[in-house]
Structure 1
Amino acid sequence: MAGMSSRTPPKVAVLMGGPSAEREVSLSSGRECAAALREAGYQVVEIDAGADLVARLGDSAPDVVFNALHGRWGEDGCVQGILEWLRLPYTHSGVLASALAMDKARSKAVYAAAGIPVAESGIFCKAEIMARHVMAPPYVVKPNNEGSSVGIYIVPEGANAPPVIADDMPEHLMVEAYVPGRELTVTVMGERALCVTEILTDGWYDYHAKYAPGGSRHELPAHIPTEVTEACLAHAGTAHRVLGCRGVSRTDFRWDPAKGLAGLIALETNTQPGMTPTSLVPEQAAHLGISFPELCDWIVKDASCDR
């Protein structure tokens, strides 16, 4: 964050909203982060990231950009590339790590090469998926480059017919073997894996369960065997490193207790995880004594270009 004046508080532009399917989640994250940064002593300008983003950034002349965008454009390297071009230090992961983590197929290949366990999967065209079972049920169909469980289809064991995919879904989709078990997640902050949270729901951990009041419950630290806890922390740290992430990331897992440690599977790494005070990342930080304003302050101080 070179160039900041020591006489006045640094000015932070918080990017939120945007055009993705996760717009509302991003608006919530952005507003909460903006409030926390004001509490931490920063000057803050809130920007709903639209087609005029470059002009808005030019007008506000921030010292640093806090990226609170979720989903495509804000999480996949696009906005990161704009900020690199403008030479504005920004939070969270850079262009390559953002693009790589958002592409589920490519990030899973990186996981596998690093020894992180993943589920069997493939990329198939929509017409083929609807014409036949491209994988023995149970399996999951989902976009290759969306987050927040947007556009998820679960095909149960014994299903007679393949799924009917909505017209607005991409032409090519990921089909992944369904992994039974418990939902676990780990935040990495810099080089430190914080702890393991278990996400408890009454059904699938879909968009509603993630964001609707009462949609899910969080248990932290998760009540799981020590060897599974240690494996989750290690895999999350490895995922953060091999994808090239910076700042905070959150890696999600499924664990089948019937298989012991062999039942642990990494699902994906989120480079722009939810950032309301009750979101998973701030909850884990708070569990370790890091307040929400302190977390946001750390993220801003970690901001950079070219890293």
Structure 2
Amino acid sequence: MQVDFGKVAVLLGGFSAEREVSLASGNAVLKALVSQGINAIAVDPKIDDISQLKKQGFDRAFIALHGRGGEDGVIQGFLTTLGIPFTGCDVLSSAIAMDKSKTKQIWQSYQLPTANYQIILKESFDETQCATILARLSGTVMVKPVNEGSSIGMAKVSNVVQLIDALHEAFKFDNKVMLESWITGQDFTVAMLNGETLPAIRMQTSNEFYDYQAKYQSTDTLYFCPCGLEEKKLAELNKIATEAFSAIGCSGWGRVDFMLDEQGNWKLLEVNTVPGMTPTSLVPKAAKQAGYSFEQLVFAILKQTL
């Protein structure tokens, strides 16, 4: 299908802790667009002057920036001000989805399933409260910087000393940290594209949890797509994913992450509004199962800007 997209900026790299992943995603997207005859050019906000995008004649932008400055509404607001259409979610939904605590609060207001949690602020952190916090959250917790992705700064802890150490480490990435009750179970993810769910993926790792190493470095992480769920349970998963994505106000494309606990209950983890886009990332895996090549997937995402 021939479409005149004009001059396309593929925004990649950036300033966040996920810069290296973003460079990989952006370069894969760039290659896929160019291979289809699209006038796409890499633009790195850390190196290039993005205030000149309009003057340089860019007609639209494919956002492949992960983390802060890319998924948090900042670049979305900037492009909106310039009048340049862009891929993915709008300013507000991007900002909300980046903040795990705000996301959870909205999901709870919709009675969507998510694990118990507590927010810890760096400025008011009191180490003497750690034992009480652990007890309230069932003794074992996942420590998560609120505004980071790719499992950066995350840790599983089950005693006070571990919790204090993990919080101090997480505070290096964010002044606001979430403590989430540990969920024993299986990891799932559902990619969203143009209002539809793509085939769900189940992830299996020998690590303690699906961490940065399991996502980007391990050679023994397993991905199952089809995910192996019975039809009724899969329908339940897709329904919750669609509702969770919509509740945040997300649109276009993205990914909703879950766990299925040992009692068979779904627990929402987070929404990714700019998921990884290397050929081996999760959304391309799901798209492939649905019959999309990587090039077709990238084209379908860019077409959202028309």
Q: Same fold (TM over 0.5)?
A: yes
* Residue number in structure 2 paired with 1:128: 125
- Give 1:188's match in structure 2, choosing from 186, 192, 195: 192
What whole-Å deviation, never above 9, does each CA across 1:42-87 have from its counterpart, x for those lacking one? 1011011127543452453211100000001110000001000000
* Residue number in structure 1 paired with 2:21: 25
* Residue number in structure 2 paired with 1:99: 95
The reply on whether 1:197 has 2:196 as its aligned counterpart is: no
**Change in CA separation of 1:148 and 1:130 when aligned onto 2, cut-off 3 Å:** farther
Contact 2:147–2:174 (CA<8 Å) still a contact in 1?
no
Contact 1:47–1:56 (CA<8 Å) still a contact in 2?
no
TM-score of the pair, normalised by structure 1 = 0.90
Distance in 2 between the 1:109 and 1:267 partners? 12
Distance in 1 between the 2:150 and 2:174 partners? 16
Unmatched runs of 5 consecutive residues or more in structure 1? 1-5
* Residue number in structure 2 paired with 1:300: 302
**Change in CA separation of 1:9 and 1:264 when aligned onto 2, cut-off 3 Å:** closer
**Change in CA separation of 1:190 and 1:212 when aligned onto 2, cut-off 3 Å:** same
Shift of 1:10: 2.0
What whole-Å deviation, never above 9, does each CA across 1:78-115 have from its counterpart, x for those lacking one? 00010000000000111001001011111111112223
* Residue number in structure 2 paired with 1:284: 286
Contact 2:89–2:273 (CA<8 Å) still a contact in 1?
yes
Distance in 2 between the 1:56 and 1:29 partners? 23
* Residue number in structure 1 paired with 2:249: 244
SS in 2 for 1:182: strand
- Give 1:108's match in structure 2, choosing from 98, 104, 108: 104
**Change in CA separation of 1:30 and 1:112 when aligned onto 2, cut-off 3 Å:** same
**Change in CA separation of 1:29 and 1:249 when aligned onto 2, cut-off 3 Å:** same
Distance in 1 between the 2:93 and 2:183 partners? 26
Matches within 5 A, 1:1-307: 10-50=6-46, 52-58=48-54, 60-126=56-122, 128=125, 130-131=127-128, 132-133=130-131, 134-136=133-135, 137-156=139-158, 159=159, 161=161, 162-164=163-165, 165-166=168-169, 168-203=172-207, 204-214=209-219, 216-256=221-261, 258-260=262-264, 263-303=265-305
**Change in CA separation of 1:215 and 1:274 when aligned onto 2, cut-off 3 Å:** farther
Shift of 1:228: 2.4
What whole-Å deviation, never above 9, does each CA across 1:105-159 have from its counterpart, x for those lacking one? 1111111222320011121134636442323221111111111101002113xx2
Contact 2:8–2:41 (CA<8 Å) still a contact in 1?
yes
Shift of 1:215: 5.2
TM-score of the pair, normalised by structure 2 = 0.90
Shift of 1:264: 1.2
